[in-house]
Amino acid sequence: MSYHNDLIIRTAKGESTERTPVWLMRQAGRILKEYRDLRSNLSGFKELVETPHLAAEVTIQPVDLLDVDAAIIFSDILVVPEAMGLTYEMIEKKGPYFPKTIETENDLNQLIIPEPYERLGYTLEAIKITKKELAGKVPIIGFAGAPWTIFSYMIEGGGSKTFSKAKKMLYTNPKLSHKLLEMITKTTTNYLKAQIECGAEIVQLFDSWAGILSEDQYKEFALPYISKICDSINKVPMTVFAKGAYFVRKEMGGLNCRTIGLDWNMDPILSRELIGADKTLQGNLDPCVLYSDFKTIEQKTKEMLGKFKGHSHIANLGHGVYPDISPDAVRCFIDTVKSFQ
């Protein structure tokens, strides 16, 4: 398919481009009034995720309203454990909650490795609708949670400052931990492949809780499973974003993926040295910079871009945009990236 704007695909592949492409994690969401208006008429977050034409609508909103260089499908990383048989609820202003968690081998035996078109068809249909509606305007990014992050929710039962239950499982029952991580890895691989079949041109793995683990634990319980997924995805460029995993940047450079995402605590110059020259890097402005005045946003964005200059780079924040950030501040960030020489 030909695109009016294929900057992000060419950059991800390491090709030379006329400017730096830009998009934002969580760009489809609460920063936009149009999203909040649509959401207010629904029972909740899950209804939006599970209704394909509505998920497609909010996926496209930031493309039209913010003029970003890619659309990322509106969904949630927790659709994977739900498809495996572990239902979650999204509690307003509190976040995800799993009424049942994985504690024993018997609990594990209740899970399945689902067929994505049967259990995750709503997201796949949303990708198809989005692709048709965009008509080649910009590419679509598909995504999933990395195995360790999904594992942590399935054990912990929700968000946590420490994820001590999940880490306890790694120490007290490593055999069960590896079994569950393997199931998540197979499910995630199948899901990403299905997203690609339905129209995703780039896919991203989010390891949101990578920084909770020690280097040794990450190398045993996280990185090998990310590597398996990367080795299985070869039809489109893939991005790995492991927040807080500064201690494995060198190893990230050896993954069979095209792009490595950096959080705002990872210096781009040192990260480039550790990761290598052949990977595209993505990131990494501190989201809180967008609370500043426009002059400061412009200055800090240019400083960030300067550190990535000379190599393939996709501009983004170092994590998702926060819901109370002004859309005008986001536009200032985007416009600064687009005009940067």
Catalytic residue among 3, 10, 19, 30: 30
Q: What b/e readout covers 106-142, taking b as 16+ CB neighbours within 10 angstroms?
A: ebeeebebbebeebbbebbbbbebbbeebeeebbbbb
249 included as an active-site residue: no
272 included as an active-site residue: no
Catalytic residue among 69, 88, 119, 153: 153
Tokens of 219: 């190398």
6 included as an active-site residue: no
- Give the pairing type, strands 95-97 and 89-91: antiparallel
3-state secondary structure the chain: CCCCCCHHHHHHCCCCCCCCCECCCCCCCCCCHHHHHHHCCCCCHHHHHCCHHHHHHHHHHHHHHHCCCCEECCCCCCHHHHHHCCCCEEECCCEEECCCCCCCHHHHHCCCCCCHHHHCHHHHHHHHHHHHHHCCCCCEEEEEECHHHHHHHHHHCECCCCCHHHHHHHHHCHHHHHHHHHHHHHHHHHHHHHHHHHCCCEEEEEECCHHHCCHHHHHHHCHHHHHHHHHHCCCCCEEEEECCCHHHHHHHCCCCCCEEECCCCCCHHHHHHHHCCCCEEEEEECHHHHHCCHHHHHHHHHHHHHHHCCCCEEEEECCCCCCCCCHHHHHHHHHHHHHCC
Q: Report how far residue 243's alpha carbon sits from residue 222's, in angstroms, rounded to the nearest whole number.
A: 12
153 included as an active-site residue: yes
Catalytic residue among 10, 19, 39, 331: 39
Catalytic residue among 6, 26, 225, 272: 26
Q: Report how far residue 146's alpha carbon sits from residue 243's, in angstroms, rounded to the nearest whole number.
A: 11
Catalytic residue among 6, 76, 207, 263: 76
**Which residues are marked as active site?**
26, 30, 39, 76, 153
